[in-house]
Amino acid sequence: MEESQSVAIEFQKVVKKFGNFTAIHNANLKINDNEFFTLLGPSGCGKTTLLRMVAGFEDVTEGNILLFGQKFMHLPPNKRSVNTVFQQYALFPHMTVYENVAFGLRMKGWSKGNIDTTVREMLDLVRLTPFAERKPNQLSGGQQQRAALVRAIAPKPKVLLLDEPLSALDLKLRQAMRMELKQLQKETGITFVFVTHDQEEALAMSDRIAVMSEGVIQQIGKAQQIYEGPKNEIVAKFIGETNILDASVVGLNKEETKYRIAEDFIITGESVEGLTKNQNVKILLRPEKIRITPLNVNATALRGVIEESMYLGTDTEYQVKVSGGVILKIRDQNGFERRELISLGSHIGLSFSKDSIRILSS
Amino acid sequence: MTLANSVRSIPGFSILAVLCLVILYAPLLVVMVYSFNDSVSITIWGGFSLRWYEQIFFGLEAEKFQKAAWNSITIAFMAAIVSTTIAFSAAVGVVRTSPFKGKNLNISLLSLPIMVPEIVTAVATLIFFSMISFKLGYTSILVAHIVFCIPFAYLPISARIQSIEKVYEEAALDLYANRKEIFRSILLPLMLPGIISGFLLAFIISLDDFIITSFVKGAGVETLPTAIFGSIKQGIKPDIMALSTLLLLVSTLFVTISYFLSRADIKNKLN
């Protein structure tokens, strides 16, 4: 982490227990100021618990959380300058959109004039000005979402916490809201901590992502780092489609490493430090990194038989049986060259570059 | 075909439905129509007249009925206010707290009195009053009404409070509101329809109670139901029908208000 960036939130050895169940195991995490940071993981992985501890709805069993270097765990939620966008929006049903957005400012004791200026500014920002006098139940899902968003932004929190705010919207709206959220983060300069189980959402919006599973932060990094270089099997499986192969190291030198997956199924990757001969490893090979080639091009190329195919529009997914009975998933893009689907049972050749092979730590 | 439609297609369905409605409402209709009867007889129609209404307001028994009506309304009003307040506190205490030992028992105990035969409650209340030498009269009626109205007020209030999701409270807390403000600006407005329903229900239950009232009223103090019963003992007179019609009108009004309140509520929730 660069020294020049100030840290908005720092989790220090945070442990959270509910009775005998440990929801968070020793979480260490620094979220930078003005960052769009995503906590990504399947439901029940503890990501929402982390968020709720920052908001103040859950206490910390062990460890500490700092807000811009300051201790704040002793403060009740209404004394913390962080705001939350709730999954179900939680707009107050008996108040108008205007009153909802004004609520936090009123509670903070702002003057009437100040409140009015800010609320109008906020409603303008998300194009809700014509709906100011409506009750939440008279708004569409997307409008409710935007109202909940500016209600949380209006008091100018130091950090905005977003708890799966897009999960209730339909696909088209969700995609449009991604752009809007990203823009809003840039415009306001507020640190966003976004919780989601949707990997696509995480990859599309985040400056950095923390992948969580079973209460453990598995990996922290930029979208590309996480996708291209997942640290372990959990991360690899959670983000994107994968082929994970059990292999043993059969040859290694300065340029390359050879792995045996089955009797006559040996592949070559870049050299990796710390490997020893005969070591058992897990290899990650993303389906879109494998290319289907005609059989006769390269005699030494890997061969396989198409077992299944699934046409997905932008690409087609094939399941290919290669030697040793291993099944590989392959994503073939239906792109520039128009291509017929390859029929089941066809024999094909396969190729991939050395650098698309990744070793996963167990 | 939906289930409702298939039921509707059974032969004789509409006849049966109309018959049920007639059985339900015919006695009430008879009372209402004959309250405008000019004849002294309660069974022979003698033309339209408002004389029985005049009678209950200005006739021989007018003073007695007015006094009884005044007692009924003031007791119902005070009993409803006090029992709603108690029921509200109980509901907040039971529903809005984390589970404690005996929470379910508490909920059952609060609603159980509705199922106790009223005559038993009446006898028990009377025995209790005489044990503590409480003088029977206006105050004893009021106290008894307050007590038996509590479970009726409790039901709609606790149902409403239960339906308020905790996330609103969290959202308010997140937006810098303190406990007092959360209660004032968020919880109370959301609970209000339930509180009004509870109040109206308690008011109606108190207004038309007869059994308990007749046990604990003591001599000389009457509410409308006991006054009507007292009059009827000397034979049914048309003015009683006029009085009953007015009472029916008040009840209908309250039930209607309560209905529209809960409907607005459901509409809010559906959206």
Rounded average pLDDT over B120-145: 93
Q: Provide the number of CB pairs (under 8 Å) joining chain A to chain B.
A: 62
Q: For A103, which residue in chain B has the nearest alpha carbon? A: B175
Give the pLDDT score at A3.
47
Give the pLDDT score at A120.
95
Closest alpha carbon to B145 in B118, B182, B170, B127: B118
Give the pLDDT score at B151.
93
Give the pLDDT score at A362.
64
Mutation target to probe the B interface, by most B beta carbons within 10 A, among A18, A103, A138 is A103
Give the pLDDT score at A91.
95
> What topology does CATH give the domain A243-360?
OB fold (Dihydrolipoamide Acetyltransferase, E2P) (2.40.50)
CATH code reported for the domain at A7-238: 3.40.50.300
Give the pLDDT score at A4.
52
Cβ within 8 Å, pair A78-B178: yes
Rounded average pLDDT over B172-181: 94
pLDDT level of residue B4 (50, 70, 90 thresholds): low
Q: For A157, which residue in chain B has the nearest alpha carbon? A: B175
Q: What is the pLDDT of residues B225-267, one digit of tens each?
A: 999 898 888 877 888 888 889 888 988 888 888 777 767 665 5
Chain A residues with beta carbon closer than 8 angstroms to that of B271 = 137-138
Domain boundaries, chain A: 7-238, 243-360
Give the pLDDT score at A1.
44
Give the pLDDT score at A2.
45
Cβ within 8 Å, pair B167-A90: yes
CA distances from A80 to A34, A71, A108, A128, A157 (A): 18, 11, 11, 27, 9
Reported ipTM: the value is 0.83
Give the pLDDT score at B264.
66
Cβ within 8 Å, pair B175-A90: no
Q: How many CB atoms lie within 10 A of CB A43?
A: 8
DSSP, residue by residue, A232-270: BHHHHHHSS--EEEEEEEEEE-SSEEEEEEETTEEEEEE
pLDDT level of residue B269 (50, 70, 90 thresholds): low
Cβ within 8 Å, pair B168-A92: yes
Q: What is the pLDDT of residues A276-289, one digit of tens each?
A: 888 899 999 999 99
What is the distance between the alpha carbons of residues A128 and A93, in angstroms, rounded to a whole number? Answer: 17
Give the pLDDT score at B270.
47
Give the pLDDT score at B267.
58
Give the pLDDT score at A108.
93
CATH architecture of B70-226: Orthogonal Bundle (1.10)
Mean pLDDT in each 10-residue stretch from start to end of chain A (362 residues)? Answer: 72 93 93 95 91 94 93 93 93 95 95 95 93 93 93 95 89 88 92 94 94 94 92 89 90 86 84 85 91 72 87 90 88 80 87 87 70
Q: For B189, which residue in chain A has the nearest alpha carbon? A: A94
Could you say which of B168, B173, B268 has the minimum Cβ distance to residue A137? B268
Give the pLDDT score at B271.
43
pLDDT level of residue B6 (50, 70, 90 thresholds): confident
Q: What is the pLDDT of residues B34-73, one digit of tens each?
A: 888 888 877 788 888 888 888 888 877 788 888 999 999 9
Rounded average pLDDT over B15-36: 90
pLDDT at residue B161 tops 60: yes
Give the pLDDT score at A338.
66
Long-range contacts, stretch B184-191, CB < 8 angstroms, 24+ apart: B185/A103, B186/A92, B189/A94, B190/A93, B190/A94, B190/B160, B190/B164, B191/B88, B191/B157, B191/B160, B191/B161, B191/B164
| B99, amino acid identity | P
